[in-house]
Amino acid sequence: MQQNRSQVTERDGLFELEAGSDVLDSPRYNHDMAPTKVRERTWNKWHITALWVGMSICVPTYTLGGVLTAYFGLSVGEALLAILFANLIVLIPLTLNAFPGTKYGIPFPVLLRSSFGILGSNVPCLIRALVACGWFGIQTMFGGLAIHLFLGSVFEGWKSLGGTGEVIGFMVFWALNLWVVIRGAESIKWLETLSAPLLVAVGIGLLVWAMPNVSMSELLAIPPKRPEGASVVSYFAAGLTAMVGFWATLSLNIPDFSRYAKSQKDQILGQIIGLPLTMFLFASLGVIMTAASVKLVGVTVSDPVTLIGHIQNPVWVAVAMALIIIATLSTNTAANIVSPTNDFQNIAPKVINRTKAVLLTGLVGLLLMGHELLKKLGLIVSDVSLETVYSNWLLGYSSLLGPIAGIMVVDYFLIKKQRLDLAGLYRDDVYPAWNRAGFLAFGVPVVLTLLSLGSDAFSWFYSYGWFTGSALGGVIYYGLCVMRAQPSVVKTAV
């Protein structure tokens, strides 16, 4: 017989929900959004390490060093330091925001109901979802190119398809990504676990191939592309902000994965082991490979897919492209599909299940890449490059996501004191529909960021957007919550 009221039990610091009719019948609940049972939390520190290795080893990581030197005016050494420091910094919100996911087994949208309201949570969720769908499209473009080059190395006639072959590759890779996520979290866990050692092997192989053709001392001595005599501080800070922005998305929705962790220790160690060093080493490899590409293939090539495509041996091209397909698949499924899948379900959990949400994610990602796909088919002509969009996006979106990260951390640790009403997060009678404090704390930094774009005096607010946004958002949220609670405290005391 179904119980009327939900029960929450605790086991070794992990909470789980025995849902009663009050939750099961709620429009805010479905099976995919439900808290994970303790028995379902099977990811140990090595699974989480593999998750980060799988997400970090990808084409965009490979190109980060080039982005920082070309667009942010840093030298090679400065660029690599910015990448390392940024990933050490982003570990802080990643680890902190993972805590409630592990403790309560809840995904990112459900956690946001605490700070933005039951209905209000949809606003930051959809902002996060749009960014993820954009990245999904970009990564699928790289994966589709790898499939095109793989088929071209196996079937000689395929090469003649040109851009059409790339679009076919895009659609094949697009469908493969959606299939993996529809199968659920366990399929993602095993994809990441099995692909991690293969991806490390790819990195080592590329390094062995490149090292005889590059001088590290000459590479590090290349002067930065910024005005002579200009202070490195502002350029380094802007580059650092952009690199923090690279994983700013995951620092928000890390509960989507930490809800499967066995313990807080596992999620903390897994992230520390898996993220900073992998990002630094693979970005370093990208810098080395780009520098060596002139001697290797005769032209400067900044992405590994195109570089490997220049190899004359079709067997090696086929093997390398197969591994790059795996690398991009492991990144794309975890980093760019899981979050919007949960975010879209949060709009109407009884109407949108996981399968529908995955398909919706795929559709939005496809539409966002429509311009690039039409270019490849020769149907339109445009000078807008994918690389330009990608490099400009890094800084811009981090400014919008920073306040959300600050609000989440302050809400859980300082306002709620790490205590949430687990059943109440799935009903309409505990948390407000819209939390004004959350929206004010989010809106003020965003407005200031937009205003700073037109002001030379306050341009630093945009350049350091993630740091200024997260700090200001957290401070404003804390102040508003304290002021709102004050009257009730006075009344009780009287």
- Mean pLDDT of successive 10-residue stretches along the chain, which has 494 residues: 81 93 95 95 94 86 82 86 92 96 97 97 93 87 89 88 92 94 84 82 81 82 82 85 83 95 96 93 85 79 76 79 84 89 96 95 91 87 66 60 93 96 95 97 89 76 80 96 67 35
Other C-beta atoms lying within 10 Å of the C-beta of residue 208? 9
Structure tokens at 37: 């049972």
Q: Is residue 189 part of a domain?
A: yes
Cα–Cα distance, 424 to 109 (Å, whole number):
14
Q: Is residue 102 part of a domain?
A: yes
Radius of gyration of the chain (CA): 23
Cα–Cα distance, 284 to 287 (Å, whole number):
5
265: part of which helix (H) or strand (E)?
Answer: helix 264-274
Task: Assess contact for 172 and 373: CB atoms under 8 A.
Answer: no
Q: In the prediction, which pLDDT does 488 show?
A: 43
Q: Is residue 114 part of a domain?
A: yes
- The DSSP bridge partners found for residue 16 are 9
- What pTM was computed for the model? 0.87
- CA 470, 475, 477, 478 dihedral sign is positive
Q: Is residue 410 part of a domain?
A: no
**What length does the chain have?**
494
Cα–Cα distance, 261 to 40 (Å, whole number):
9
Task: Assess contact for 326 and 198: CB atoms under 8 A.
Answer: yes
Cα–Cα distance, 258 to 266 (Å, whole number):
9
Q: Is residue 236 part of a domain?
A: yes
Domain residues for 200? Answer: 42-378
* pLDDT tens column, 27-57: 999 999 999 999 999 999 999 999 998 888 8
| Three-state secondary structure call for residue 477 | helix
Query: Residue 396: CB partners within 8 Å, gap ≥ 6?
Result: 465
Q: How many domains does the chain have?
A: 1
Cα–Cα distance, 475 to 47 (Å, whole number):
35
CA-angle at 191, arms to 185 and 196, nearest 5°: 130
Q: Is residue 46 part of a domain?
A: yes
Q: Is residue 47 part of a domain?
A: yes
CA atoms within 13 A on the CB side of 16: 11
Cα–Cα distance, 76 to 221 (Å, whole number):
8
Pick from 368, 399, 361: nearest CA to 386: 368
14: part of which helix (H) or strand (E)?
Answer: strand 14-18
Task: Assess contact for 343 and 109: CB atoms under 8 A.
Answer: yes
Helix H segments across 105-212? 108-116, 122-154, 163-182, 185-210
9: part of which helix (H) or strand (E)?
Answer: strand 7-11
Q: How far is CA 223 from CA 140, 218, 398, in A?
A: 34, 10, 28
Task: Assess contact for 181 and 256: CB atoms under 8 A.
Answer: no
Task: Assess contact for 449 and 465: CB atoms under 8 A.
Answer: yes
- Which CATH number is 320's domain given? 1.10.4160.10
Query: Residue 36: CB partners within 8 Å, gap ≥ 6?
Result: 16, 105, 259, 260
Structure tokens at 137: 């499209």
- CA 101, 102, 104, 105 dihedral sign is positive
Q: Is residue 435 part of a domain?
A: no
Q: In the prediction, which pLDDT does 294 show?
A: 78
* pLDDT tens column, 210-262: 888 888 888 888 788 888 878 888 888 888 888 888 888 889 999 999 999 99
Residue written as token pair 């592990």: 102
